[in-house]
Amino acid sequence: MFVLLLFLSVSLTSARPDPAIVNQSTQLLRRHGAKGVNFTFLNFENGLYYTELDTNLRDVLLQLRNFTQQSVLTQFDWVRARNMEEGRMQQPVLNSDRFPCDLSEGRSAERPTLISQLRPGDIDIVAAFGDSGNSGTGIMSLGPLDAYVDYRGYSYLGGGFETWRTALTLPNILKLYNPQLYGYAVGHSLTADKNVSCFNLAEAMLNVQDLPFQAHVLIERFRSDPKVNIRQHWKMLSIQVGANDLCSELCNWPDTDAFLRMEAHQLHKTFRLLKDNVPRLLINYIVLPDIDELLNMVRKAPSHCAQRMSFFCNCHIKYDQQMLYNAAKRFLHLQLSIASSPEFRSDDFAIVTHGILRNVSNLWSENGIMQKRFFANDCVHYSQLGHAVLAKTLWNNMLKPNNVQLPEAWQQPFNNFLCPNPNRPFLRTVGDQF
């Protein structure tokens, strides 16, 4: 938790020193419920804390992270070429090939007033928060030194770097329907560099309990950005979070009931903050696989990845204990219960749960082993090809009728690509059933 708060505090301040934002970070941490305590080497009780050490080291760690980020990006073309050679990049689509869908009917003639009548082109603003799956951490990493570089512009939920021809992401699809789309990360940066990250606020190592912090930051950025009409613009927020909770948090709490109560409280608080402060908001909530799928991914990892995955997901060896296993199952259900609550449905607000990660270990496996091309060199984060396939899968899930099973097409970004049509022109506003 100590390391997590350092990352949160550092990255949500400015990548170039900005005293106003640095001062505000402490205010946001307090509003988030984190306690200010004196630093000691003794173990703290479970909970959210920050210390004077966090405050004093923010600028130092910020500059260190930014230096690493910028140093790697100076070699971007070489890093990209290496990933292409290893099959971890989407194959570029030729300029002579057209996008699979007709774009002419993608935006309503007049801005809709009901969320149930949203077309893809009606989305004016996109945002994303969550963990490293959204921040693009390690997407093109080649070794341990660049494992925490954020390739945010390639994130399937919040990245808009390049175009759909070379980087299929949800924003790169949506901006075909609305060229004025705003809010996606325009390049690869830390969250703190607002000119690049924009409303992609995701952070590596983030947990569900940290979501209210990100909600506060997002609301502040919306309100302070002159390009955002918070009352009129339709906004889409995509959230993916929970892996760190299962992999490194749950098994370390002596009272799992207390952990689950805290998670439920923080998730509910996040959605309440967003509903009360952000009108005209459609949320994509990517539901993590349950514990069986998580354990299956570890078992099916290539031999050279097993040790790395065990390091990043050290809780997995403890889930043979029935109490922890049951708690992990309950963790999935509490997310679904809160996200699907009638409290969070109205004419201008909806949370849509997407179960697109439920069967990854089988869909990305060959002869019982997960294919490395869908994963970064660190074996934990998705590769750019993996992000492209996930973008297609989410897009399809946003358009398909409720409870309709789609053909499994997880090997290439454009296989079985769905399009809006006259019979189904609107985005789905009811989540998957589990």
DSSP code per residue over 4-65: HHHHHHHHTS-SS--HHHHHHHHHHHHHHTPEEE---SSPPPSS-EEEHHHHHHHHHHHHHH
Give the tens place of pLDDT for each residue, 353-400.
Answer: 998 887 777 667 777 677 888 888 888 899 999 999 999 999 999 998
Contact status, residue 273 vs residue 212, Cβ threshold 8 Å: yes
How far apart are the C-alpha atoms of 123 and 281, rounded to whole Å?
9
Of the listed ranges 24-33, 219-228, 313-322, 379-388, the one predicted with least confidence: 24-33
Question: Domain span at residue 132?
Answer: 89-399
Contacts of 319 (CB under 8 A, 6+ apart): 251, 291, 295, 325, 328
Q: Which residues pair with 365 in a beta bridge?
A: 370
| Residue 33 pLDDT | 61
Q: Is 68 inside any structural domain?
A: no
Strand ranges for 268-315 from DSSP E: 281-286
**pLDDT reported for residue 3:** 44
Distance CA 353, CA 371 (A): 27
Identify the pLDDT of residue 296. 78
At 197 the pLDDT is 96
Model confidence at 12: pLDDT above 70: no
Nearest to 52 by CA among 38, 63, 64: 38
Residue 310 pLDDT level (bands cut at 50, 70, 90): confident
Which CATH number fits the domain that encloses residue 126?
Answer: 3.40.50.1110
40 Cβ neighbours under 8 A, 6+ residues apart: none
> For the whole model, what pTM was predicted?
0.89
Whether residue 124 is contained in a domain is answered as yes
The answer to the question of residue 28 being in a domain is no
Look-up: residue for tokens 């502040």? Answer: 220
Amino acid making up residue 333? H
**pLDDT at residue 6, as a whole number:** 47
Does residue 52 sit within a domain? Answer: no
Name the band, by pLDDT with cuts 50, 70 and 90, for residue 97: very high
For the segment 203-247, what is each residue's pLDDT rounded down to a tens digit?
Answer: 998 999 999 999 999 999 999 999 999 999 999 999 999 989 988
Whether 19 shows a pLDDT value over 60: the answer reads no
238 secondary structure, DSSP code: E
Tally the domains of the chain.
1
The answer to which of 181-185, 203-207, 405-409 has the lowest mean pLDDT is 405-409
Instruction: Specify if 282 maps to a domain.
Output: yes
- Do the strands 365-366 and 369-370 form a parallel or antiparallel pair, or are they unpaired? antiparallel
On the question of pLDDT at 321 being above 50, the answer is: yes
Say how far apart CA 259 and CA 122 lie, in whole Å.
39
CB contact at 8 A, 280 and 245: no
pLDDT at 407: 57
Please give the span between the terminal C-alpha atoms of the chain, in angstroms, as a whole number. 31
How many Cβ atoms are within 10 Å of 16's Cβ, its own excluded? 13
pLDDT tens-place string over residues 73-83? 999 999 999 99
Cβ–Cβ under 8 Å, residues 127 and 235: yes
Instruction: Give every CB contact of residue 36 below 8 A, 6+ residues apart in sequence.
Output: 26, 29, 30, 49, 50, 51
Question: pLDDT at residue 20 above 70?
Answer: no
pLDDT band at 307 (very low <50, low <70, confident <90, very high): confident
Q: Are 54 and 5 in contact (CB under 8 A)?
A: yes
335 in any annotated domain: yes
- For the chain, percent of residues with pLDDT exceeding 90: 57
Are the C-beta atoms of 427 and 394 separated by less than 8 Å? no
CA 271 to chain centre: 16
The backbone torsions φ and ψ at residue 340, rounded to the nearest 5 degrees and listed phi first, read -95, 10
| CA-based nearest residue to 14, from 190, 254, 204 | 190
- Tell me what the pLDDT averaged over the chain comes to: 86
Q: Looking at the domain assignment, is residue 44 inside a domain?
A: no
Q: What is the mean pLDDT of residues 260-268?
A: 96
Poorest-confidence range of 150-159, 286-295, 297-306, 403-412? 403-412
Q: Does residue 272 surpass a pLDDT of 90?
A: yes
Categorise residue 368: left if φ over 0, alpha if ψ from -120 to 50, beta otherwise.
left
pLDDT score, position 164: 98
Q: Has residue 176 got a pLDDT over 90? A: yes
Residue 146: pLDDT above 60?
Answer: yes
pLDDT of res. 23: 36
Q: Is the pLDDT of residue 401 over 80?
A: no
What is the full DSSP assignment across 198-224? TTB---TT--GGGHHHHHHHHHHHHHH
Give the pLDDT of residue 266: 95
> How far lies 181's CA from each of 171, 178, 189, 280, 304, in Å?
8, 6, 20, 15, 41
Stretch 333-345: mean pLDDT, rounded? 94
Distance of CA 32 to the CA centre of its chain: 20
Q: Is 36 left (phi over 0), alpha (psi -120 to 50) or beta?
A: beta
pLDDT confidence of residue 309: 78
- Please check whether residue 99 lies inside any domain of the structure: yes
153 pLDDT exceeds 80? yes
